[in-house]
Structure 1
Amino acid sequence: MSETTTPDHLTKLPAWSESQARQEASKTEMPLTDARLEVILLARQFYSAYGFSPSMRPLIKFMAEHLEISKARSIYLMQLFPPSPAKQVAKLAGLPPPKSCL
């Protein structure tokens, strides 16, 4: 059985690990900093709670509930995960791509 829905997204959430995320991040020249890991772990928490990968707005709202408010902004996510934050976060979190992302 394949573990991916697309070449880059896992379907078996337990197969994810921080080291796997670091490896994937290094392929995109996007080192896995503490700030990025914080968002990735929140996205996994969101998925666990709601059963789907968050698009941008739900991710920001969830971040506002769990992090300091200055981080719950689209500009913050754009700086961390260009060019498509929700898609990049899902990819690094081992989640399926958000439905609203092409």
Structure 2
Amino acid sequence: MATMDVAGNSVEVDEEGYLTNINDWDKDVAIELAKSENLEMTESHWEVIEFLREYYQEYQIAPAVRVLTKAIGKKLGPEKGNSKYLYELFPYGPAKQACKIAGLPKPTGCI
């Protein structure tokens, strides 16, 4: 297993950079994961990350992009619940990249 250093602590990640233990996640870890993805976190990014973590806590699964888009649209409004908006925030895939930063497992169906 690979590791990444976050504020002097070593955190285990898999070969794709996803956390191996969801409980290792905190905002500092998210910021480091975002840096590794060349993303600067904004309030809009955090809104999606927090949504994903709540979704995972409720359903115990990371949503695929289609499910994510619909669920965000219901909760945050249609201007945010669309692929264009989410891809602007997470250009390498809203489900895949956002789940990684949120400390969640890779969504099923993502290659």
What TM-score results when the alignment is normalised by the length of structure 1? Answer: 0.88
How far apart are residue 5 of structure 1 and its match?
4.6
Task: Look up the equivalent residue of 1:10 and give its one-letter code.
Answer: L
More strand by share: 2
More helix by share: 1
Give the distance between the partners of 1:27 and 1:5, measured in 2 at CA. 14
- Identify the structure with bigger relative contact order (alpha carbons < 8 Å, sequence gap 6+): 1
Match of 2:75 in 1: 66
**1:58-97 to 2 correspondences below 5 Å:** 58-97=67-106
Task: Look up the equivalent residue of 1:80 and give its one-letter code.
Answer: L
Q: Secondary structure at the residue paired with 1:101?
A: coil
1:31 aligned residue (16, 40, 56):
40
Match of 1:10 in 2: 19
Q: Quick check: which has more Rg, 1 or 2?
A: 2
RMSD: 1.8
Query: Number of matched residues?
Result: 102
Checking the alignment, whether the CA contact within 8 Å between 1:40 and 1:89 is kept in structure 2 is: yes
Task: Look up the equivalent residue of 1:51 and give its one-letter code.
Answer: Q
What TM-score results when the alignment is normalised by the length of structure 2? Answer: 0.82
Q: Which blocks of at least 5 consecutive residues in structure 2 are unaligned?
A: 3-11
How far apart are residue 11 of structure 1 and its match?
3.7
Which aligned runs of 4 or more in structure 1 are off by greater than 6 angstroms? none
Checking the alignment, whether the CA contact within 8 Å between 1:16 and 1:93 is kept in structure 2 is: yes
Checking the alignment, whether the CA contact within 8 Å between 1:5 and 1:96 is kept in structure 2 is: no
